[in-house]
Structure formats: C-alpha cells, structure tokens
Amino acid sequence: MLGSLSVEGPERHARYELLGELASGGMATVYLGRRRGAAGARLVAVKSMHQELAADDAFAAMFLDEATLTARIKHPNVVSTLDVVSADGKLLIVMEFVEGVSVGRLLELAAARRTHVPPAVVVSVLCDVLRGLHAAHELVDENGRPLSVVHRDVSPQNVLIGLDGVARILDFGVAKAASHRHVTAQGEIKGKLAYMPPEQQFGEPVDRRSDVYAAGIVLWELLVGRRLFTARDDDELVRQMFEGTVAPPSTVAPVPVPRAIDHVVLRALSRERQDRWWSAEQMANALRAALEPASRAEVVATIASIAREEIEQRAAHVRALQTSRAPRLEREAQTVLDVLTARGNETIPEPVPFAPVTKVESPSARESARAVAESRAARRAQRRAQRRLRLILTLVGVGLLVVALMVLALVLGRKTREAEGESPSVRLEPTTTPTLEPSPGPPARKSRKMWGAGSLAAAARDRITADPVASRQY
C-alpha cells in the first residue's frame, strides 16, 4: 500500500527540486529534478500526471497503480522508482534519471544516417529488456502470491539504452497486475496497436507471453531497421498482422543475421500464444544461444556513433536546466507542486517519431481483429475439411483396390485348381512308390501378400482415427 512507498506530506518535497521539463506524453509530464540527501545531490526524473486528468478517478488509479508497481520492481533492467510523493491528493513519481536514448529514437537516427544497429548489440539490448520483463512477470506481493504483472506496452519508445550500455524497460502506465485498483473494462484495449498480440486486440486476458510477442516485434525491427507492421489505418494494420507473413530477419536485414535468430523471432511472433516462448527468460536464453551478446562497451560505442548529436544536445539541455532553474526552485521547495502546475503548459518539441504509433482505447480495432481472425479460422477449417475428404477418398480407393486384388487372386486360384483337376493324373503302383502330397502352389503365396497389404491399409486407417494429433494434420 502507499505507506510502504514512503509517501509523506508536503515537507518531504524539500528534498526535491524541479529543474525543468524533459518530455510530455498523453497522461503525464516528466521533469528533470534534483534529490538532496545526506550523501549529496542526485539528478532524478519526476513524473506528474496532467492537471486535467488528476481529477479523473480512473486515471488517478492508473497513475497510483504504476507508482505502486514500479516501486516493487528492483531490477537493473527496469527504470527504478525511488519515491512517491503526495500532497493535496496529487502524486509525483520520482524515478532514476537515465542518460541515454530510446530504441525508437535510435532506429529513427539509424535510418536517417543509412546505418544499422549490429546484431550482437541488438541481442544485448533485447536480453536486457527480456530480463527486466521477467523480473516484472515474477513479481509477488508481501505474502508471496504472484501479482501476474503484464507490461502491455512493450515498444521501442519504452526501451531506454543508457550511456552505461544497459537497456531498461520503462513506463508501466498501462500494465496489468492482480493488485491494481484500476481494472480495465472488458473489451477495452490499452497499448500500441502495432505491437499488440492478437489476444490483447481481442480484449481477452493477457499473460507474460503477450509481452514476449511485443518483444519479438521490437527484436525484428532492431535487426531489420524498419517497422514490421505499417498501414494507412487501424483496419489495414490489423489485417496485415493477422494475414501477413513475417519474413525471417536473416532474409531482409541489411547485414548478415544468424539464421538461428530467425527461430527465436518467429516463435515469439506466433499468433497462438501457446506456440510462443513461455517466458521472457526462456526467450533471452534462446537469443543468447543464437548469438553472443555485445559487451557493454560495444553497446555504448554503437549508440554514441549513431546518436552522438542527440546525446550531446540532451546533455547540454540538462546542464542548462541545472544552472538556470536550481536557485529559484531551491528557494521555493515547499511549493514545488505549484511550480509544476504553473509549468504544465510548457512543452519541449519532441523528436520526429520513428513511425506513427496508435494508442488504442476503443473496441474498434478489436472488432476488426476478430473479424479477420474469424475469416482466417473459417478458411483454415475449410482447408482441413478438404484435406480430410481427400484422405478419406484415398483410403477408400486403396481399400477398394485391395479388395479387388484379393478377389482376383481368389478367382485365379480357383481356375488354377480346376485346371490341375482336369489334367491327366499319373497313377503309381502303391507297392512301388507311395503317393506324394502336392506342395503349396503360388496362389497361396500371392494371397498372403494381399492379406498383408490389406492389413497395412487398415492399420493406417486405425492410426489416423486413433491419433488425434495425426488427425489434426489434415
């Protein structure tokens, strides 16, 4: 609960100074802040819900859920929540400040410079992301009960690569957990459509494998250097996701990619969740086995070569905020929330996005996805029925052929015996030579062969009837 998150009154704000705005999104604004303590000062990121949303109980519950959840997760690959400060019913989430660049921005810059992220660096970044997700998925409450956390918004914009070479997952604003106060309404969809697994588009229950699917898309895009799913509108995007074929990265990447990585990616992107990696950790292990991850130094060198100007500009902006805003805010530490509200309308231009992403909070995309899926399911069922009919006709044909051959063998055998009976017999004197019994003739051997073929056909029919797995293949 809130007490465990060190939430206190306004006096606690004296420990923090807001220096200026870093970014603004649909729900909240993130500010650069400074946290003062006995050990000295530390830069932090302070997230505050937009004033117009703070009065909405549903949004307030989501914000509080994010604060509660991220404060529980202590992992080097998840952006840490350091504190949650409350005053007059308003919340500030104080997080670690990470200097670096998002995967989304890195892809934009790489495309603009006609360069790419080396596959080994991609593996290092994704293994970090998967480890962070696994830590969230494994989270338990005070009594050891699983919280069943699902991020639900894994995307390039929510992966931050620090100047220390470590990738971190952030923004659990639409995450699902068993302990959440805000419950997503049935049929309501949250997240970015282009990274959303089928079950999430349907508004069905999600689990950790839903995040694995989204991580698979991020992996594909980093390897290939472009968006996996692009379309003019949501309906076309959904149709592409359900009916399109995902190309193995090794066949479309601008640089050589080990074919072993194709299996990792394509399994993560299975439309049926039972066919995916069952956990983020399992996927990370498979990815490391496919290609040795780059070192931290190699990751740092890569982002520096691709995003050097971006990083330098952000560093200059941070230095300017520290020198220009700190003195006044330090004198007004007790009214930090008022300062935050007054600055709420100021914006810093956002960089051009890697590609437009769609936030979905209505059932329209779910209906489109369901229509496409039902159409695909009907076609699959029709193809299975056609294959089953062909199999039955084939087996019937084989059976009729076997019967015909057996009848032919019997007729030939009877004619042979009749011919032997009509031919002159040789009588031998019983006192000189005993009568010899005739040996079995060729027709009997032919009959045994026909019996064997019939048994094989019957056995094949029995196996297909008895084996549900074999039956499903047709």
Cα–Cα distance measured from residue 288 to residue 128, given in angstroms and rounded to the nearest whole number = 11
Question: What's the sign of the alpha-carbon dihedral 460, 461, 466, 468?
Answer: positive
What is the DSSP pairing of strand 81-87 with strand 40-49?
Answer: unpaired
CA distances for 246 relative to 116, 243, 265, 307, 361, angstroms: 20, 10, 10, 29, 26
Q: Are 21 and 31 in contact (CB under 8 A)?
A: yes
Tokens representing residue 198 in the block: 């089928």
Question: What's the sign of the alpha-carbon dihedral 137, 138, 144, 145?
Answer: positive
CB burial string 205-237: b at 16+ within 10 A, e below = ebbbbbbbbbbbbbbbbbbbbebbbebeebbeb
Q: Hey, which residues does 162 pair with through a beta bridge?
A: 100
Strands, E assignment, 207-287: none
Q: Which residues are marked as active site? A: 153
SS3 state of residue 45: strand
Cα–Cα distance measured from residue 122 to residue 217, given in angstroms and rounded to the nearest whole number = 12
Cα–Cα distance measured from residue 339 to residue 153, given in angstroms and rounded to the nearest whole number = 31
Angle at 66 between CA 54 and CA 41, to 5 degrees: 90
Which residue's structure tokens are 């500009």? 313
Kindly state the DSSP code that residue 310 receives in the 8-state scheme: H
Q: Are 146 and 135 in contact (CB under 8 A)?
A: no
Q: Are 124 and 293 in contact (CB under 8 A)?
A: yes
Tokens representing residue 18 in the block: 């807001």
Kindly state the DSSP code that residue 343 receives in the 8-state scheme: T
Cα–Cα distance measured from residue 41 to residue 61, given in angstroms and rounded to the nearest whole number = 31
Which amino acid, one-letter code, is at 122? V
What is the DSSP pairing of strand 90-96 with strand 100-102?
Answer: unpaired
CA 369 to chain centre: 17
Q: Hey, which residues does 92 pair with through a beta bridge?
A: 48, 85
Q: Are 108 and 351 in contact (CB under 8 A)?
A: yes
Q: Are 388 and 254 in contact (CB under 8 A)?
A: no
Cα radius of gyration rounded to whole Å, the chain: 35
SS3 state of residue 340: helix
